[in-house]
A and B are shown apart, each in its own frame.
Chain A
Amino acid sequence: MQAIAFYLLAFVTLAAGILVVSARNPVHSVLFLITAFFSAAGLFVLLGAEFLAMLLIVVYVGAVAVLFLFVVMMLDVDFEELRKGFAQYLPIGGLVAGVLTLEMIFVAATVANNGKAGQNANPMASPEGVSNTEAIGRVLYTDYAFFFQLAGLVLLVAMIGAIVLTLRHKPGVRRQNIADQVARSPKTGMELVQIKPGEGISE
């Protein structure tokens, strides 16, 4: 059962990964990327890391990939234009791809030589009766609390940076101020005037 599930999910992940780069339509690429994320989450579940699997779906699939899709859908991509640059970018693209392939081969060879992935990096066995989530929480908020907080701060700085770069208050744009609207009362918003017949109002 587990083996079938593993091979199915692994196949879907790899196939979706290949289709991400080979699909003609960028929106289809993103959809395949989402498929890859989703089946990767399935692989996490098979490993017994259900908490990570759910976080992967909530954070990457549910939020980040939606914004990806959002942006890619609004792009107006001209494929002829893209193909023109193919020969120009081939050397640098090939170089990057070659370096990455070499690195992966080295890693795979090391793992094959040692018998298993990194002898010193044995996964920590979670104590009996402690759920996945609890085990991660215990490590994250004790031994690695500093790094955890630091990572959060880095994200906060990035977020504030993005807001500062894009926030512009144009003069002359009327914005809704809900507090002002709520504070409006008959006294401030209305004036009762007694008019004598035939006179009208002068300002």
Chain B
Amino acid sequence: MSEFFSNPAVTWTLLTTGGILLVVIWVLLSLAFLLLADRKIWAGVQMRKGPNVVGPFGLLQSFADFFKFVLKEIIIPAGADKVVFILAPLLSLVLAFVGWAAIPFAPGWVVSNLNVGILYLLAMSSLGVYGIIMGGWASNSKYPFLGALRSAAQMVSYEVSIGLIIITVILLAGSMNLTTIVEAQSGWFWNWNVFGGGLRNLVLLPVMVIAMGMFYISALAETNRPPFDLPEAESELVAGYQVEYSSTPYLLFMVAEYSNIVLMCAMISVLFFGGWNPGFPTDFLVSWGWWGNFFLALVFFAKICFWFFMIAMAKAIVPRYRYDQLMRLGWKVFLPTSLVLVVLVAAWRVFGPGA
């Protein structure tokens, strides 16, 4: 038995599987409470109380919803393409969770320390559109199909600006490895990429603040959140691509959507706000050992929560865009602006004092 466990391949497999399980459970548990927080924040803005019946302060509301979804009957429309219809929510969920593999939670706490981690994240978030398109098409119904087409065009458009903004961060950090990007922002908070990545680059502050703002807005569009929730605009398309979905498949779509949102929050934190770095030198953590890592992971989680709060507030206070305005913003405003930002950052890196 001990021989079996000392085999490096077996150890590696067990460790990786354990890591994956830990991350998935952590994400699912946080989602349950972040979903509640989302509803509470929304309610608070509208001066309502929000869910407050199940458990103290409604804390168990998400679990009650979970059981309600799971216990209902799955209805598959007669005209639907059954395989694709069921495959779509599964694909959405898988793609929403694989992205977490590259996110570094604390020094060394990452499932897969990819060299091209940032590209991997971009690739996985761009694949997310397939779940929506397949779901909308397989429903064999007009409104879901319209929603699917809208989301296809929307997500492809905003990926372009997200990709270009990510390039500015890659230029600052000089690496596509997410751990390296986070480590490059260690120390005081002015080393964070949103401040240009260090006092020497403080000139880049306006550039990176604009980049961060655009990334935030593009993240809203990429995850189909209000004000860009046109794929499921309830006033026009009933519920968009989800109209025909019920019970567990619908739950999978919803969990995937929220997982994507939290992943985007994690991406903003990693790319612009120093990931696990609390904003001051962390040399004192060396003596803490394992608890030091735990503290840094908590800092990272706090940043994710902050950005989730920002996204929830955007849902509460911003009216929905019209589709032509959405396209105009993506192609005529964000694309040229982000191109200029890339040129500015690249020029600073080549001709600036740090070159």
Contacts of A67 in B (CB 8 A): 152, 156
A36 close to B (CB within 8 Å) = no
Contact call A27/B137, Cβ cutoff below 8 A: yes
Is B335 among interface residues, defined by CB-CB distance under 8 A? no
Which of these binds chain B: A49-57, A95-103, A144-152, A191-199? A49-57
Cβ B130 vs Cβ A34 within 8 A: yes
Q: Are B116 and A61 in contact (CB under 8 A)?
A: no
Q: In which size bucket is the chain B interface?
A: 20 to 34
Q: Which residue of A lies closest to B12 (CB)?
A: A1
CB–CB A58/B123 < 8 A: yes
Q: Count CB-based A-B contacts (< 8 Å).
A: 72
In the complex, A27 Cα to B138 Cα: how many Å? 10
Given contacts A51-B119, A61-B127, A62-B123, A73 and B156 within 8 Å (CB-CB)? no
B133 touches A66 (CB 8 A): yes
Residues on A with C-beta less than 8 A from B123 are 54, 57-58, 61-62
Quick check: A63 and B114 within 8 Å, CB to CB?
no
**Secondary structure type dominating chain B contacts:** helix
A130 shortest CB reach to chain B, Å: 11
Task: Give A54's nearest chain B residue, CB to CB.
Answer: B119
Residues of A within 8 A of B116 (CB): 50-51, 54, 132-133
Question: Cβ of B137 and Cβ of A73 under 8 Å apart?
Answer: yes
Taken together as a complex, chains A and B put the C-alpha atoms of A61 and B129 apart, in Å, by: 10
Q: Which has the most chain B C-beta neighbours within 10 Å: A25, A31, A66, A74? A: A66
- Indicate if B120 sits at the interface (CB-CB under 8 A): yes
Q: A50-B116, A176-B325 are in contact. List 8 more A-B contacts (CB 8 A).
A: A27-B137, A58-B126, A62-B127, A63-B159, A66-B129, A67-B156, A131-B115, A178-B328
Q: Chain B residues in contact with chain A, CB under 8 A?
A: 9, 81, 84, 114-116, 119-120, 122-123, 126-127, 129-130, 133-134, 137, 145, 148-149, 152-153, 155-156, 159, 163, 176, 324-325, 328
Across the A-B interface, the 9 shortest Cβ-Cβ residue pairs: A62-B126, A54-B119, A57-B123, A58-B123, A50-B116, A54-B116, A131-B115, A54-B123, A70-B152
- Residues of A whose CB lies within 8 Å of any CB of B are 1, 25, 27-28, 31, 34, 50-51, 54-55, 57-58, 61-63, 66-67, 69-70, 73-74, 131-133, 176, 178
